Amino acid sequence: MRVRASIGTLALLNIIKAEQVELPTTAYVLLHSDDGCMAECAFCPQSRVSRASKSLVSRVSWPEVDLELLVERIKYSSVLKRICIQSVIKDNSFDDLLRIITSLRDEGVAKPISVSTTPIDYSSLNQLKDVGVDALGIGFDAATPEVFKKVKKPYSWEEYIKFLNESIEVFGPKKVYVHLIYGLGESEVEFLKSIEYFKGLGVNISLFAFTPIKGTSYEHVVRPNILSYRKLQILKYLMDLGVDISNYYTVKGVKVIIDKSLVEEVINNLNHYCGGFITSGCPGCNRPFYNESVTGPHYNYPSRIFLQRNIEKLVGELRELFNERE
Ligand code: SF4
């Protein structure tokens, strides 16, 4: 059986030779389909309607690989801590998903497995739990029902919410990860309200920044403002830490203005807050350069070490947030 795996995963496992600045500690695996995904998400190269290479997810290349070889290499890797399997909509996608998981377990791979999927039925959710899936990712991607419709996500917002509630029931909220992409057309305030809504349900948020990919219908849409993204990262991180953020920002039209003292606090204690700027996802998720080129701007830093190397740039961006108040 053929699957795809991110180029960093394949380089780490010595299946291909590729220069990588940062190597992941999670194996990223994607269901394979020659035609891509049957959905029509406007920003996604996997969509069957995009002209982009089907080896791309966001800006990262995912070459094809034989499942048996991949499982064999994962089995003997001491570096990998988790396996993340992402689905696409295609015939028999759930069967493929189960086959990948079963192959891993049959070979004795006991590492935790995350699955990221579009809505599936309740019994399939239970099946995933039964075969040992440890965390469930849900690609809402769009933060509001309006944007959801505009970017042509499959199913409906309501179906996704129903699926989210069922996932919470089956896995528990702490094991559910909602993927949100900032920059698909919503305002800062709308995006923040969406984060607050999902956090209120007790689930985790994996935060991404929109990246235009050639060949998709959003190829000419501009990337989001990095300062807007920094604000959302800071407030989301505070929420992750269990802080009530209501006293730390004000709303000015469609903009979120972060309290000056909070910005100062973040700059002065970057060691404590740097987790907010690092790739967010399941435990240990460090998919490198999903949103950005190696040279930046770095919306999500893949690791603390990489962030430290680029800390002056980050501090410069954070200082710019002071000007917003004028
Ligand atoms: S459902 Fe997921 S993989 Fe399929 S086109 Fe949309 S974003 Fe891409």
**Series of mean pLDDT values for 10-residue runs along the chain (326 residues):** 95 88 89 94 95 84 95 96 96 97 96 97 97 96 98 98 98 98 98 98 96 94 96 98 95 95 96 93 79 81 91 95 75
Cα–Cα dist 264/41, whole Å:
39
Among 43, 44, 151, say which to mutate for ligand 1: greatest number of ligand atoms within 8 Å of CB. 44
Side-chain-facing half-sphere of 69: CA atoms under 13 Å: 14
Ligand 1 centroid vs 164 CA: distance in angstroms? 17
Tell me what pLDDT residue 326 has. Answer: 45
Cα–Cα dist 172/242, whole Å:
18
Torsion of CA 35, 37, 40, 46, to 10 degrees: -80
Asked if residues 105 and 142 have their Cβ atoms less than 8 Å apart, the reply is no
Ligand 1 centroid vs 249 CA: distance in angstroms? 33
- CA separation (Å) from 291 to 33, 121, 130, 256, 297? 23, 31, 33, 22, 9
Residue 87 Cα: closest atom of ligand 1: 3
Ligand 1 centroid vs 44 CA: distance in angstroms? 6
Domains annotated for the chain, with CATH where assigned, are: 2-323 (3.20.20)
Residue 141 Cα: closest atom of ligand 1: 7
Cα–Cα dist 267/262, whole Å:
9
Is the C-beta atom of 89 inside 6 A of ligand 1? yes
Cα–Cα dist 90/144, whole Å:
25
**Residue from 136, 179, 140, 147 nearest 161 by CA:** 140
Tell me what pLDDT residue 57 has. Answer: 81
- Whole-prediction pTM: 0.95
The backbone torsions φ and ψ at residue 232, rounded to the nearest 5 degrees and listed phi first, read -65, -40
Span 59-111, pLDDT tens digits: 788 999 999 999 999 999 999 999 999 999 999 999 999 999 999 999 999 99
Helices (H), 19-92: 67-75
Atom 5 (ligand 1) nearest CA: 47
Is the C-beta atom of 204 inside 6 A of ligand 1? no
Ligand 1 centroid vs 121 CA: distance in angstroms? 18
Cis amide prior to 24 (ω within 30 degrees):
no
Ligand 1 centroid vs 152 CA: distance in angstroms? 10
Is the C-beta atom of 154 inside 6 A of ligand 1? yes
Span 290-321, pLDDT tens digits: 777 677 789 999 889 999 999 999 999 999 99
Cα 90 to its chain centre, rounded Å, is 21
Is the C-beta atom of 57 inside 6 A of ligand 1? no
SS3 for 199?
A: helix
Tell me what pLDDT residue 325 has. Answer: 57
